[in-house]
């Protein structure tokens, strides 16, 4: 496994872009790019079946028998057979050209992460869902997945693991540019906050006690001056002879 890039997500997880074999990941759960029937055919699913053994497919068949097909954007969780991971999460991404693909892909990723978190996982590894035979453009796939995992709360580590040079390289490039944009946005907010500082609490110069006011705050000074003027007016009226 080779780590190509990493950053801390807004949700608290460490997000790592990894080049390597997903089926060898030692994360608590790995995510399989699945179809709705959970048939482990080719691509990532075929690799999961080959290395994990027949137990995974058998459990997938039982899941579909009990719950029906997994909808696009949904996910199901099974055991991991002979894999190093504890769970396999089967996320169903969209086929490119069916409409609303980006929202469906983001929902599939969130469904997988939520299942992992709900089953006590601290780490999860997932591939470029839908970017194989489903035809989702790899560049946009990487962007959608990065945007989705960045804000997810409830996991300590999220690994974006792909074996081939092309996909791994795209994820590395997109992760680096995404992180740079985030840092730039954070810097702009910090500069804006500095220019919008509140005025100091004491907006007027303090008056010394020798001036006779006895108070340095304008509001209290006006109130005391008013009371003093009233007392002086009453005293003056009392000294006048009756008319």
Three-class SS string for the chain?
CEEEEEEECCCCCEEEEEECCHHHCCCCEEEEEECCCCCCCCHHHHHHHHHHCHHHHHHHHHHHHHHCCCCCCCEEEEECCCCCCCEEEEEECCCCCCCCHHHHHHHHHHHHHHHHHHCCCCEEEECCCCCCCCCCCHHHHHHHHHHHHHCCCCCCEEEEEECCHHHHHHHHHHHHHHHHHHHHHHHHHHHHHHHCCCCCCCCCCCCCHHHCCCCCCHHHHHHHHHHHHHHHHHHHHHHCCCC
Domains and their CATH numbers in the chain: 2-185 (3.40.220.10), 209-237 (no CATH)
The per-residue pLDDT for 211 is 45
Per-residue pLDDT band for 243 (boundaries 50, 70, 90) equals: very low
Cβ neighbour number for residue 133 with a 10 Å cutoff: 12
Lowest mean pLDDT among 21-25, 148-152, 235-239: 235-239
Q: Could you give the C-alpha distances from 210 to 204, 205, 223, 231, in angstroms and in order? A: 17, 15, 18, 20
The per-residue pLDDT for 193 is 62
Answer whether residue 231 shows pLDDT above 90: no
The per-residue pLDDT for 116 is 98
The per-residue pLDDT for 183 is 80
Q: What rounded mean pLDDT belongs to the chain?
A: 86
Tens of pLDDT, residues 68-99: 999 999 999 999 999 999 999 999 999 999 99
Between 240 and 128, name the one with better pLDDT: 128
Percent of the chain with pLDDT over 70: 76
Lowest mean pLDDT among 19-28, 34-43, 180-189: 180-189
Q: Residue 126 — left, alpha, or beta (φ > 0 → left; ψ -120 to 50 → alpha)?
A: beta
Residues 29-47, mean pLDDT to the nearest whole number: 96
């Amino acid at each position: 496994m080779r780590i190509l890039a990493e950053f801390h997500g807004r949700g608290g997880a460490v997000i790592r872009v990894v080049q390597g074999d997903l089926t060898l990941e030692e994360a608590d759960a790995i995510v399989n790019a699945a179809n709705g029937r959970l048939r482990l055919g080719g691509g990532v699913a075929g690799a999961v079946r080959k290395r994990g053994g027949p137990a995974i497919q058998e459990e997938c068949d039982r899941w579909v028998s009990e719950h029906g097909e997994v909808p696009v954007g949904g996910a199901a969780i099974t055991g991991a057979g002979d894999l190093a991971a504890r769970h396999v999460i089967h996320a169903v991404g969209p086929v490119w050209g069916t409409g609303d693909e980006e929202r469906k892909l983001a929902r599939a990723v969130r469904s997988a992460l939520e299942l992992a978190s709900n089953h006590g996982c601290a780490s999860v590894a997932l591939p470029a869902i839908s970017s194989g035979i489903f035809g989702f453009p790899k560049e946009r796939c990487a962007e959608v997945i990065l945007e989705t995992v960045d804000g997810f709360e409830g996991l300590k580590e999220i690994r974006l693991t792909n074996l081939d040079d092309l996909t791994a390289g795209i994820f590395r490039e997109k992760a680096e540019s995404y992180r740079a944009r985030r840092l730039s946005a954070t810097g702009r907010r910090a500069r804006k906050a500095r220019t919008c500082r509140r005025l100091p609490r004491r907006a007027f110069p303090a008056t010394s006690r020798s001036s006779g006011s006895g108070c340095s705050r304008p509001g209290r000074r006006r109130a005391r001056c008013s009371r003093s003027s009233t007392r002086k007016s009453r005293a003056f009226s009392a000294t006048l002879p009756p008319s």
